[in-house]
A and B are shown apart, each in its own frame.
Chain A
């Protein structure tokens, strides 16, 4: 109790220094809370940007299709597969697709790209294709409709209603087929790969163009009731639909580089945290040493009248503990205010790209309980660790040396 009382009073002996050190520690906690919240927010935004575009949360293909998008690797029985998947409670929506590489020509120019034949209505419940339309309209199911990205439209020098000819190879033979379309919509996802190289047409017309039957598809894309189903593969669909012919892969398996990056995002927080921890600990060590040197004679006297080395070390550690707790309370309150605001209103970080995914708008940070329990705990622990060296120094003070040096 005496140690506690002494520690509190000692902290207020040099109020300015204590406040400066406390600000440093508080700032570290605030920065950590914000960095963690921002990282979680960006992670969520990245995942949602990815899964809400074309990838969905899982995709079913013929084995090997993803290797080179071979048009021959289609599967039949689409309606049965879709019905089976839609019958599962964890699956929210399924859409079939026909995919083929092709040449997209206008009267003025030619581009190569990926032709997506999509089930227009079902796709609206899978991703944001419809929302990405900036001119014209979304596919209605009528023949001859085509949607292309703004960069490709600029390259081909076409606008709404202009003619486009798509040349692609037919399945099971390799003959070339051509089909005429009219630009019905222009979209902009903000994703280079899609905006420059992808066109969307109705699935039925795509099947005709590549010469596959009405119940054949290259891809089934689906979303689940919860993202964790695909992230942790908790659904039985991953067992049931992976067989000799078919493979069902989650979005993480389909985008391994992004999945790895997401895994590593925890590392970034760790690196930021380590730098902040290092700065804060240097501040604590410096402050503690200044405080000890100021009180060297006093420590000499304390040792002379019978204070043991461990009791002196306890005093320094107690001061550090109180400084850490006080700073974390302050930093926690400010951090709570900041993260509450940015969770609600987002952080305006402009438009930027991460791992090929365009992110824009305000990034909403995420608040978690651990930011106010674990992070302060680590900060307090670090403050104590930083104080170990000064505490050891104080405990080693030789009374006669301290008494003679200060006189």
Chain B
């Protein structure tokens, strides 16, 4: 008998509204219920203002919903706050942002190591993982460079390595290719796709990028805060 796969993320009636005045109320995420299984390579797509980034933030525990439930690996993170959420994000979620957002005063290696230091991993393990990550994202030999000495694509690869270094359950990427040229974007996506296929890492993207949409096995279409269509390919 095949075991029943538990969803990695499950949201129920998730709502995130901005503004107090009824007339001015913005329903950025409005009654969204979805599940994401381990190993998915999913893109949340939709026009600007459709609520995809807000949904991604809610899935990653960066923001608290007005109502509803966000369960990540069986834990409801919607009610967590402050340090509790920070610790949860550190151990379970990897983030990749549009503008790379590496710490400029740290080298590529140190940026990757940073999150493991927060986790309190021993030095030997940290160093081993850093080298492994650099190799996986194709940046061997560039670990000692600071972000300003790396190209945009290389910086985003470091960001991917940083997101992967803590061995998170899921990696959430907000427009990761938006600042990259087409060729660099494709190369980066190939790295992420490889990590997804080879290691079963779960990726959820918020994007407009067609290159991501082409590679995604599932597309969640959003409009006005609601899921318009959920397409599995």
User: Given A6-B106, A9-B105, are A306 and B99 neighbors across the interface (CB < 8 Å)?
Assistant: no
Point out the residues of chain B lying under 8 angstroms from A407, CB to CB: 98-99
Of B67-75, B79-87, B127-135, B208-216, the one touching chain A: B79-87
B62 within 8 A of A: yes
Encode B94-113 as 1/0 by CB contact (under 8 A) with A.
11011101011110001000
Chain A, interface residues (CB within 8 Å), range: 20 to 34
Q: Flag if B89 contacts A305 (CB, 8 Å).
A: yes
Whole-angstrom CA separation of A403 from B99 in the bound complex: 10
Q: Flag if B89 contacts A304 (CB, 8 Å).
A: yes
A237 within 8 A of B: no
B226 within 8 A of A: no
Tell which of A13, A311, A400 touches B104, judged by Cβ atoms closer than 8 Å.
Answer: A13
Tell which of A10, A13, A311, A403 touches B97, judged by Cβ atoms closer than 8 Å.
Answer: A403
- CB nearest to A2 among chain B residues: B117
Q: How far is the CB of B82 from chain A (nearest CB, A)?
A: 6
Q: Flag if B101 contacts A298 (CB, 8 Å).
A: yes
Q: Flag if B83 contacts A306 (CB, 8 Å).
A: no
A302 within 8 A of B: yes
Whole-angstrom CA separation of A403 from B57 in the bound complex: 10
Chain B, interface residues (CB within 8 Å), range: 20 to 34
Tell which of A6, A12, A301, A309 touches B86, judged by Cβ atoms closer than 8 Å.
Answer: A309
Q: Flag if B106 contacts A306 (CB, 8 Å).
A: no
User: Given A297-B99, A407-B99, are A305 and B162 neighbors across the interface (CB < 8 Å)?
Assistant: yes
A141 within 8 A of B: no
Point out the residues of chain A lying under 8 angstroms from B57, CB to CB: 399-400
Of residues 288 through 310 on chain A, the ones whose CB sits less than 8 Å from some CB of chain B are: 297-298, 301-310
Whole-angstrom CA separation of A153 from B222 in the bound complex: 105
Of residues 39 through 73 on chain B, the ones whose CB sits less than 8 Å from some CB of chain A are: 57, 60, 62-63
Encode A4-34 as 1/0 by CB contact (under 8 A) with B.
0110011011000000000000000000000
Beyond known contacts A309-B83, A400-B63, A403-B62: 6 more, CB 8 A cutoff: A6-B103, A298-B101, A298-B103, A301-B101, A305-B118, A307-B86
Residues of chain A having any CB pair with chain B under 8 Å = 2, 5-6, 9-10, 12-13, 297-298, 301-311, 399-400, 403, 407
